[in-house]
Amino acid sequence: MFSNVHIVLVNTSHPGNIGSTARAMKTMGFKKLLLVNPKEFPSSQSDALAVGCVDVLKKAKVFSNLSDAVAGANINIGLSARTRKASIPILSVDECVNYVLLNKNLKCNIIFGNESSGLSNSDLLKCDYMVSIPTYKDYSSLNLSAAVQLITYEFYKNTKTHISSSKKPITHATAKEKNYFIDTLITLMKETKFISVKNSKSLTKKIHILFNKTNLETDEVNMLLGMLNSIHKKLNK
Amino acid sequence: MFSNVHIVLVNTSHPGNIGSTARAMKTMGFKKLLLVNPKEFPSSQSDALAVGCVDVLKKAKVFSNLSDAVAGANINIGLSARTRKASIPILSVDECVNYVLLNKNLKCNIIFGNESSGLSNSDLLKCDYMVSIPTYKDYSSLNLSAAVQLITYEFYKNTKTHISSSKKPITHATAKEKNYFIDTLITLMKETKFISVKNSKSLTKKIHILFNKTNLETDEVNMLLGMLNSIHKKLNK
């Protein structure tokens, strides 16, 4: 049903949560699961909790790092409770669902972090947007599969009433294309000494944030790469 | 927070689900749990899954039958997937939430049945209304605590009509700042021969479109200008 949307679990500690997630997904019509560095998978505990959903687990793809998992997607959306420190754009759950449903031609990852620690800051920098599920102020400890259940439910609920819009389809760049440009830019900025050992961390972060929020199209990435290439040639004449 | 609403679990088989339910409830501000004829309670399994919510379990009231549990409430609402055979009025999730939130003076029970069989027909007859959570047609097997999570989330979400306060204010760049950067970039790109007389018009347009949609902040414009300046210096060494 949601063939362009992947649910991504990062550094999951408890295999039971992977099984519960598969069940939560399937009740709302989601079948594509990516696992980044799970502590234990496949596992009998996952299978036991994936009542009637072992097919989702069998087709799940396992990656050793998040960069590889996000590379093929056009939009990467990370779930996080820590929106106060957010340095990437925040979407409400409704905004997130509408955005993805309006752009069915785009491949989208919805990314959930570890049970205790969530997504790390460096994981979040691989995301174009951040979403936070509203929870009660005194106790916000959502179970991992419960979080997946809530997000997939919102998708399913909204699909039922969603009217396809006439917005023109956008050929979003993939994360791989975008990150290649960012890496090339950073290399050049080291060459020009704009980036030094001292400021490297903060500038690298700022550059990622700037170009993540831009919704770059493939054509635009190519134009930006052409600019960098022209500078490179001129410098090495 | 929802002091007039009780979550009622009927004939729960797995004590773990009682613990997960307590956790699901508390994340959305619910604290009042009634248990009708649970197979095992209290239980170490319940406690283990009620991470940080043992208070909800400790205050839970246990009844031997549903009649006693519903007796003190003004509105009893039963969850069921079997709406076709319904002999009592059906509410959508939104209607249910609105109804209860509009009637805060009334005591309300939201009633969930057994993991495998749900609420029996005689249980449903003790309810004033019936609610069904929308699920994917090919697989509707919601986990018990996941169902509680979804309903309590809808309550919490609808109570929160205020706007998320965590968004940090953004200092958008002025058009003047942005255009100064774009002009500087275009000058540099003419110097590197990326922009020629032939392609000038179309590339200038593309560059404007790209940076217009970025919602650049003043800080970001300054960073981009710093990059261009570092290139300029290196070229003119």
Question: What average pLDDT does this structure show over A202-222?
Answer: 89
Q: Is pLDDT of B61 > 60? A: yes
**B contacts of A203 (beta carbons < 8 Å):** 223
Beta carbons of A223 and B214 less than 8 Å apart: no
Least confident of A138-147, B3-12, B121-130: B121-130
The pTM assigned to this predicted structure is 0.78
- Please give the CATH number for the structural domain made up of A175-235: 1.10.8
- The H or E element containing residue B70 is helix B66-70
CATH 3.40.1280.10 residue ranges of chain B are 5-159
pLDDT the model gives residue A191 = 93
Q: In the predicted model, is pLDDT for residue A169 greater than 80?
A: no
What average pLDDT is seen over chain A?
90
Q: Is B135 on the interface with A (CB under 8 A)?
A: yes
Contact between A29 and A2 (Cβ < 8 Å): yes
Q: What pLDDT score was predicted for residue A163?
A: 41
> Chain A contact for B26, CB < 8 A?
yes
Q: Is A146–B227 a contact, with Cβ atoms under 8 angstroms apart? A: no
Q: Is A3 on the interface with B (CB under 8 A)?
A: no
pLDDT bin (cut points 50, 70, 90) of residue B163 is very low
Is residue B176 less than 8 Å (CB to CB) from chain A? no
Between B174 and A209, name the one with better pLDDT. A209
A152 touches chain B (CB under 8 A): no
Q: Which CATH class, in words, describes the domain spanning A5-161?
A: alpha beta
Taking the CA of residue A201 and the nearest CA in chain B, the distance in Å comes to 14
Q: At B231, is the secondary structure helix, strand, or coil?
A: helix
According to DSSP, the residues that pair with B4 across neighbouring strands are: none
Q: Looking at chain A, which residues constitute the CATH 3.40.1280.10 domain(s)?
A: 5-161
Q: Where do the CATH 1.10.8 domains begin and end in chain B?
A: 175-235
B9 contact A CB<8A: no
**CATH (one of 3.40.1280.10, 3.20.20.10, 3.30.460.10, 3.40.50.2000) for B5-159:** 3.40.1280.10
The answer to whether B162 contacts chain A (CB < 8 Å) is no
B192/A210 Cβ within 8 A = no
Beta bridge partners of A63: A36
Q: Percentage of chain A with pLDDT > 70?
A: 94
Q: Which residues from chain A sit within 8 angstroms of residue B223, using beta carbons?
A: 203, 206-207, 210
Interface of B with A in 50-89 (CB under 8 A): 51-53
Contacts of B153 in chain A (CB under 8 A): 133-134, 150
Query: Is A24 touching B (CB cutoff 8 A)?
Result: yes
Residues of B numbered 89-108 whose beta carbons fall under 8 angstroms of chain A's beta carbons: which are they? none
Q: Which of B102, B103, B100 is nearest to B111 (CA)?
A: B100
Report CB contact under 8 Å: A132, B234.
Answer: no
Is the CB of B220 inside 8 Å of chain A's CB atoms? yes
